[in-house]
Amino acid sequence: MSRILVTGGAGYIGSHMCWELVGRGHEVLVIDDLSTGHEQALPPGTTLLRGQVGAPEIAAALAHEHARSPLAGAMHFAAKARVDESVRFPDLYFEHNTQQTLRLAQQLRELKVPWFMLSSTAAVYGNTSGELIREDHPVAPASPYGESKLRAELGLRDWAASGGERVAILRYFNVAGADPEMRTGQSTPQATHLIKLAAQTVVAFERGQASGASSSVSPTMQIHGTDYPTHDGTCLRDYVHVSDIAGAHLAVMESLMNSTTSSRDARVFNVGYGQPYSVREVLACMQDVSGVKFPIVEGPRREGDVVRVACDSRRLQAETGWAPRFADLKLICQTALAWERRLAARTL
């Protein structure tokens, strides 16, 4: 059993990670400011340091915790992750996603924590070409969000080259779904993600029916652009179940822990399935699993959207033995919807 630091552990991906770690007998220490996360998402027995990564009081509490019971390694999920917000407040994104990452890495070096994993994103690639994106695909972020993550990656690679830590960077594709055991899920109310919004639409529809509402305005999904050069005119994305993202971290963690030497270079891994789905296919799937034929309207393109994003994760599979367990769009939609129904039941 090891003690692992999980920053952002009360958030969407971080909380799934905490449950996976605890399920394997590890102890987790969480740093989270609860700006988008929820304390209830944490597994019992978790120690929570409430505040921002890099804040002086959190740094002091982290040093204290490490002195009390040493950390084996760190997984850094805490970040700002809204593309639209990053366009309005780029400096905020560079501060949170880039500077705070590098400050945390530096503190962990001083504490002699031997490995560090960074949560990154396919947004670093920007407009992609080719069928499946490999880690060596050129990077050209299309938003300050992607840029802030790329700068964190580059800073971390320089940092890794100057020390002895083992470092890994995971680039996620479109993360969706919820823990199949319903211990946690995506609870951020202002999410902009397609599958989360579709699940919210189903629940709004069901609530309207339950209350007998006769409003002429029914919950609706809008497709952002139907004139893309794809088989049905809508954008393609590689949706990956959040529990597989957590599983990928476990696989990388084990390989970092088993490796005795430092390569002095951060390893970069894509996490996705390599099976893209269109917006229309996702919405049809959500209608199918829910039995709710919510209206779908066709709108204009959304600024900044890229046509097709699909992942080549062969490096992750070959180097760590990671194998996806939930690579099924239906299961992703089912678990996202089940979680949304739970959230709705809580607020009734």
Task: State which residue, 2 or 230, has the beta carbon closest to ligand UFG.
Answer: 230
Which residue, 24 or 301, has its beta carbon nearer to ligand UFG? Answer: 301
Residue 309 in the binding site for ligand UFG (CB under 6 A): yes
Verify binding: residue 249, ligand UFG, rule CB under 6 A: no
308 binds ligand UFG (CB under 6 A): no
239 is an active site residue: no
How many other β-carbons are positioned within 10 Å of the β-carbon of residue 184?
26
Pick the closer one to ligand UFG by CB: 70 or 300. 300
Q: State in angstroms the smallest separation of the CB of 128 from ligand UFG.
A: 9
> Does residue 227 sit in helix, strand or coil?
coil
As measured in angstroms, the least distance from the Cβ of 318 to ligand UFG is 23
- DSSP strands (E only) in 267-342: 267-271, 277-278, 296-299
339, 178 in Cβ contact below 8 A?
Answer: yes
Q: What is the distance in angstroms between the CA of the first residue and the CA of the last residue of the chain?
A: 40
Could you say which of 35, 40, 129, 192 contacts ligand UFG (CB under 6 A)?
Answer: 192
Query: Counting contacts by CB under 6 A, is residue 150 touching ligand UFG?
Result: no
Alpha-carbon distance 152 to 160, whole Å? 12
Per CB under 6 A, the segment of 43-51, 88-96, 109-117, 222-230 that binds ligand UFG is 222-230
Q: Is 83 in the site for ligand UFG (CB under 6 A)?
A: yes
313 makes contact with ligand UFG (CB under 6 A): no
Q: Which helix (H) or strand (E) holds 52?
A: none
Among 22, 202, 203, 223, binds ligand UFG (CB under 6 A): 223
CB-CB contact of 303 with 143 (8 Å): no
Stretch touching ligand UFG by CB under 6 A, among 3-11, 35-43, 71-79, 188-196: 188-196
Pairing between strand 221-224 and 267-271?
unpaired
- In the shown chain, the binding pattern of residues 159 to 178 toward ligand UFG, with x for contact by CB under 6 A and - for none, equals ---------------x----
Q: Which of 95, 254, 288, 305 binds ligand UFG (CB under 6 A)?
A: 305
Instruction: Collapse the DSSP code of 53 into the 3-class scheme (helix H, G, I; strand E, B; otherwise coil) and give the result.
Output: coil
Residue 256 touches ligand UFG, criterion: CB under 6 A = no
Under the binding rule (CB under 6 A), the answer on residue 222 touching ligand UFG is: yes
Name the residue nearer to ligand UFG (CB basis): 265 or 303. Answer: 303
Distance between CA atoms of residues 26 and 30, nearest Å: 13
Q: What letter represents residue 82's amino acid?
A: R
Query: Which residue from 242, 243, 237 is spatially nearest to 306, judged by alpha carbons?
Result: 237
Angle between helices 56-68 and 100-110 (to 10 degrees): 30
Nearest distance in Å: CB 307, ligand UFG = 9
Using the rule CB under 6 A, is 197 a contact of ligand UFG? yes
Q: Which stretch binds ligand UFG (CB under 6 A): 34-42, 70-78, 189-197, 321-329?
A: 189-197
174 vs 313, beta carbon nearer ligand UFG? 174
Q: Burial-class residue 264 by CB neighbours within 10 Å (0-12, 13-18, 19+).
A: middle
Q: Site for ligand UFG (CB under 6 A): which residue of 17, 28, 150, 194?
A: 194
Give 213's contacts (C-beta < 8 A, 6+ positions apart).
none
Distance CA 332, CA 193 (A): 13
Q: CB within 8 A of 252, min separation 6: which ones? A: 117, 168, 170, 267, 269, 316, 320, 322
| Active-site entry in 12, 93, 125, 145 | 145
Residues at the site binding ligand UFG, with contacts judged by CB under 6 A:
81, 83, 121-123, 146, 174, 192-194, 197, 221-224, 235, 237, 279, 302, 305, 309
Catalytic residues: 145
